[in-house]
Amino acid sequence: MENSSVYVFSALFCIALLCFLAVRIYSIRHKSGNRSREDNIDWILKNRMAKGEIDKQEYIRLKDLLSK
């Protein structure tokens, strides 16, 4: 009786682990596909501004220009 409960628990654990891994892999593979063009422009420009490559006026100018 004791051995059968260990096997059941092991089987359920393996199934739960496989489901978790499948969901995790799916979410990682589809994460980058959810961004729109507008989001990508904003993300790139914010990073450039954070690095000091552009100032706030240049950020606004480029965002307006690229969003059209």
For residue range 2-46, what is the model confidence (pLDDT) as tens digits? 677 888 889 999 999 999 999 998 888 777 555 566 678 888 999
Q: Where are the domains of the chain?
A: 1-33, 35-68
Virtual CA dihedral for 28, 34, 39, 45, nearest 10 degrees? 30
CA nearest 59: which of 47, 44, 49?
49
Distance separating alpha carbons of residues 32 and 7, to the nearest angstrom:
39
Give residues with Cβ within 8 angstroms of 38, minimum separation 6. Answer: 67
Neighbours of 45 (CB within 10 A): 19
For residue range 55-64, what is the model confidence (pLDDT) as tens digits? 999 999 998 8
Report pLDDT for 4: 79
* pTM greater than the 0.85 cutoff: no
* Total residues found in the chain within this entry: 68
Report pLDDT for 30: 74
Report pLDDT for 36: 67
